[in-house]
A and B are shown apart, each in its own frame.
Chain A
Amino acid sequence: AQSVTQLGSHVSVSEGALVLLRCNYSSSVPPYLFWYVQYPNQGLQLLLKYTTGATLVKGINGFEAEFKKSETSFHLTKPSAHMSDAAEYFCAVSESDSWGKLQFGAGTQVVVTP
């Protein structure tokens, strides 16, 4: 069975600074990995996903994430934070042989300060 751990329930970054959100997973088979963003009072929106192929994945809004199998990690980064990046971010994993089930992390709330 898969599981996801997001380090840090709250992250505060200055506008223009690097955004780094950490995600570690456990999976007994090759995983599919996802990052979602949730703005207040809205549903979730996919930022990016890794299934196979290139381990550095680029997503929307300038975000990217790198799949590191040896570290079982899928950290999300953005070089320069914008005020509009304030939201809650969720890492999720599903297993490639049972991709109906999706496991989410507990989420990281990002606050961007001027």
Chain B
Amino acid sequence: EAQVTQNPRYLITVTGKKLTVTCSQNMNHEYMSWYRQDPGLGLRQIYYSMNVEVTDKGDVPEGYKVSRKEKRNFPLILESPSPNQTSLYFCASTPTGTASNQPQHFGDGTRLSIL
């Protein structure tokens, strides 16, 4: 089954404690992306990756890092989380970016609470 898998699904943590949200896809997609969803703001793109070792900033990259060492994985790293990063996070993938004739596949989301 084609899947984008995010872990953890829920996390409550404290300010300054480094955390990583993993994202893995089993569809051999080149393109992967991270979004955060906040009420009234829709989804905002954090980072995206066109392929292995190719990453670029979205609209709200501050406070986040990503890496793409292998095609299937695209972890989101919060080196020093702060309360304003409390949000619902989604990872997505698609074969060749948003121009693909195939849709982006979204994970089920990760709800982060930073106290």
Q: How large is the interface on A (under 10, 10 to 19, 20 to 34, 35 or more residues)?
A: 20 to 34
Q: Which residue of A lies closest to B97 (CB)?
A: A99
- The answer to whether A101 and B48 have CB atoms under 8 Å apart is yes
Contact bitstring A80-114, B, C-beta under 8 A = 1, else 0: 00000000001010101001111111110000000
B103 interface contact, C-beta 8 A: yes
Q: Which residues of A line the B interface, CB within 8 A?
A: 4, 6, 9, 32, 34, 41-46, 49, 51, 90, 92, 94, 96, 99-107
Mark B residues whose CB is within 8 Å of A.
4, 31, 33, 35, 40-45, 48, 50, 56, 58-59, 90, 92, 97-99, 101, 103-104, 106-109
A32 is contacted by which of B35, B42, B99 (Cβ under 8 Å)? B99
Query: When the two chains form their complex, are residues B40 and A90 in contact, meaning their CB atoms are under 8 A apart?
Result: no
Set A6, A99, A103: member contacting B59, Cβ < 8 A: A103
